[in-house]
Structures are given as structure tokens and as C-alpha cells.
Amino acid sequence: MKNKLLPIAILLAVTGTVQSQVAIGKPTVTNTAVSLEFADTENRGLILPYVETKTGITENGTIIYDTTDHKVKYLKDSGTWTDLSVDNTGTANILIQTSKTESTTAKTAIGSAAATDPTPGVLVLTDTNKAMILPKVVSPHLNIINPAPGMMAYDTVKKQIAVYNGTVWSFWKP
């Protein structure tokens, strides 16, 4: 009995301490410079957190879906929010739970400092030398049948980031 439990215990210990890269919808990430990567075989995007009040958010590089004006935004330069939606007519039909209890400590962290990183957020990538790869979709504006407000994907045809604000898709190219 002890001989059977020892390999399982070792496997669990190694799995819990080495997991600094995550692949979703695929068995592994493409290279060592990736913290989080999504499968590119499905027509799905990443849905950003719906935020009602952004006043307490101070971490540069944060990306949210702002429910007050139905726009995808990212925080730049300590307090300056940049609109990624580029649509002044947007009134997305989003479903937000009216009675909610939020756990202020709820957080998923991925990376080598995941256990100790104090950065607030729903999903925090803690590595300083790894990136997240967005879901890759061929023409997301045509192939994601029912996109949710706040959805992002990488358009493999236009080679741009596609952002859906609930009304229209916006495209960003570096």
C-alpha cells in the first residue's frame, strides 16, 4: 500500500509546485515565454471581467469591460483609461447579476510568484518574462457566432487584436 501511495504523493507535490505555465484547450504551451495560452482550434475569445466601479483599480496594464459605458478599456499611466472599443453608440445588452456577494480575495495567479504576488485582480500573470497569448481565431467578427460583451481574440487573418464591446468589433494593430 505504501509503495502505491508514494508515487502519487510525489506526483501531486511536483504538479502543485511546478505549474507556472497554463494551456487552456490544448495539452501544452508553445514555448517557455508563455504564461497562459489558449487553443486556436475553436472560435472562442477571452471574456474580460465586467467592472461596475473602476475607481479602486490602479495596476497599469489592467484590461476590463466597463459596464458604465459598455467599453473595453485598459489602464495606462496610473489612472488614464484607454478605450479599446472605439464606438460611441454602444449600449450592449449584458447580463449582470443584480444581487451579488463578491469575495474580494478571489484571485487566480499564474507564474513563478503566484503564491506570494500581492497584485489585486481576478486573473494575475505574475511572471515578468512571460506573456499571455490571446485565443487565435480566423476572422472573429465572422466566426464567433454569439460574442459576449468584453470579448477579445487575435484575428489570424487581419493579424490584429479584435475587441467586442457588445455592439461592434474594434480592431487594433500595433
pLDDT at position 143: 95
The pLDDT tens digits along the chain (174 residues) read 444 433 443 333 433 333 478 888 888 888 888 888 888 777 888 888 888 888 888 888 888 888 888 888 888 877 788 888 876 665 555 555 556 676 767 778 888 888 888 887 778 888 888 888 899 999 999 999 989 888 999 999 999 999 988 888 989 886
pTM of the predicted structure, to 2 decimals: 0.71
Neighbours of 141 (CB within 10 A): 17
CB 132 within 8 A of CB 117: no
The residue ranges of DSSP E strands in the chain, in sequence order, are 22-24, 34-38, 46-47, 50-51, 63-66, 71-76, 80-83, 108-110, 123-125, 131-133, 136-137, 151-155, 160-164, 169-172
pLDDT at position 14: 36
CB 158 within 8 A of CB 141: no
DSSP output for 154-167: EETTTTEEEEE-SS
Alpha carbons 120 and 46: distance in angstroms, whole number:
19
